[in-house]
Homo-oligomer: A and B are copies of this chain.
Amino acid sequence: MTHEAGIPLGIRFKLLSDTPQDSAAQVVSDVVVGDYRDLDTLREFARGCDVITFDHEHVPTEHLRALEADGIPVRPGPDALVHAQDKGVMRAKLDAIGVPCPRHRIVADPEDVVRFAAEGDGFPVVLKTVRGGYDGKGVWVVETAEEASDPFRAGVPVLAEEKIDYVRELAANVVRSPHGQAVAYPVVESQQVNGVCDTVIAPAPGLDEDLALRAEEMALRIAKELGVVGHLAVELFEIRNDDGSSGVLVNELAMRPHNSGHWTQDGAITSQFANHVRAVLDLPLGDPRPRAPWTVMVNVLGGDYPDMYSAYLHCMARDPKLKIHMYGKDVKPGRKVGHVNTYGDDLDDVLERARHAAGYLRGTITE
């Protein structure tokens, strides 16, 4: 999708891909298949690149520092990216700059989890390995000390967080360029199913205007304080305070075009992918404002039927305004294989169309 956004800008990509079957490898012309964890592979790949960027956060921080030492611009740079790679580093930094987060600390072992619970309102407690998790992987919600033993088996530091009784999940997406220009997309509502993003509504319905503005400002401030270049997604919990006022706490950070920003492809003047490319090349950023009153994105997960072709025909025929984005992945149950975007004036209609299409493609809706 980043390649797609780069084509009209005249930007050419060289892709380092795990396999020739990866989604991006199917559509980019200059592909190197190799392991992003191997420094020699990275160095060989980086030769001749004007700038390096990512569609995931898993390239080892020390390898990125080595590429920078070789003179290759890495954007976002390792000093910023580490905050999206390591939840412990992220929480420490957000604390230091005064950004509200769930109560948290690194815990040593299951007994320490019990102490962490007792320091606050008790169980349940959320445990996260500080590195390697996404889409609900590497995250446990535990009720007892016994349940708290699993996360420690990976040999990675474990972060404990209070379980937030949130109103809903939001996301604030911003893009920042090396010389400090930044843009903020409208704050969206993000609905998860089984820990995986299912639906995004832009803008978040009924969100207090002042809170929306504060969330955008917070995301812009995080981008600046962490030295982010490119797209930053700030996943938020919307909470109701004891005095009845609303607030937000930061859940996670992602430094790349993010699922909560896929709606921008069809719903914003400039997509998150185009603005990420513009930012990493230090080009002036594009207008992030929405083109329609409501845009909805629903992820298409793989269902029981590997061949989506007839469902695909049905969805296109049923809704000529539907925007389908397929990733060229083999269908496996629960795997994100694409998403659909819809937009319009009537939120109920926009939501129904997106949910019907995604459900039909998955096979959970058959009429």
Q: Which residue of B lies closest to A30 (CB)?
A: B29
The segment from A34-42, A217-225, A232-240, A278-286 that touches chain B is A278-286
Q: Select A27's contact among B7, B283, B286, B327, beta carbons within 8 Å.
A: B7
Q: Does A270 contact B (CB under 8 A)?
A: yes
Q: Which residue of B lies closest to A322 (CB)?
A: B286
Q: Are A326 and B10 in contact (CB under 8 A)?
A: yes
Q: Specify the main secondary structure of chain A where it touches its partner.
A: loop
Could you tell me which residues of chain A, from 209 to 257, have a CB within 8 Å of some CB in chain B? none
Q: Which residue of B lies closest to A282 (CB)?
A: B313
Q: Mark A21-56, 1 if CB is under 8 A from B, else 0.
A: 000011111010000000000000000000000000
Q: Are A286 and B316 in contact (CB under 8 A)?
A: yes
Which residues in B have their C-beta under 8 angstroms from that of A12?
26-27, 328
Q: Select A320's contact among B7, B9, B27, B284, beta carbons within 8 Å.
A: B284
Q: Select A321's contact among B10, B25, B287, B327, beta carbons within 8 Å.
A: B287
Could you tell me which residues of chain A, from 295 to 341, have a CB within 8 Å of some CB in chain B? 312-313, 316-317, 320-328, 338
Q: Are A321 and B27 in contact (CB under 8 A)?
A: no
| A interface, size bucket | 35 or more
Q: How far is the CB of A342 from chain B (nearest CB, A)?
A: 11
Q: Does A291 contact B (CB under 8 A)?
A: yes
CA distance A325 to B25 in the complex (A): 23
Q: Does A67 contact B (CB under 8 A)?
A: no
Q: Are A8 and B325 in contact (CB under 8 A)?
A: yes
Q: Does A164 contact B (CB under 8 A)?
A: no
Q: Are B4 and A269 in contact (CB under 8 A)?
A: no
Which residues in B have their C-beta under 8 angstroms from that of A327?
10
CA distance A38 to B287 in the complex (A): 47
Listed residue (A3, A29, A278, A312) with the most chain B CB atoms within 10 angstroms of its CB: A29
Q: How far is the CB of A318 from chain B (nearest CB, A)?
A: 8
Q: Which residue of B lies closest to A10 (CB)?
A: B326
Q: Which residue of B lies closest to A338 (CB)?
A: B10
Q: Which residue of B lies closest to A12 (CB)?
A: B26
CA distance A7 to B327 in the complex (A): 8
Which residues in B have their C-beta under 8 angstroms from that of A317?
284
CA distance A326 to B12 in the complex (A): 11
Q: Does A1 contact B (CB under 8 A)?
A: yes
Q: How far is the CB of A317 from chain B (nearest CB, A)?
A: 4
CA distance A278 to B29 in the complex (A): 23
Which residues in B have their C-beta under 8 angstroms from that of A1?
7-8
Extra inter-chain contacts (9) besides given A3-B27, A7-B27, A9-B326, CB under 8 Å: A1-B7, A3-B7, A12-B27, A28-B29, A29-B31, A283-B313, A285-B320, A286-B321, A286-B322
User: 6 A-B residue contacts at CB 8 Å?
Assistant: A8-B325, A9-B324, A10-B327, A269-B321, A283-B312, A284-B313
Which 6 pairs between the two chains have the least Cβ-Cβ distance?
A10-B326, A284-B317, A284-B316, A287-B320, A8-B325, A4-B7
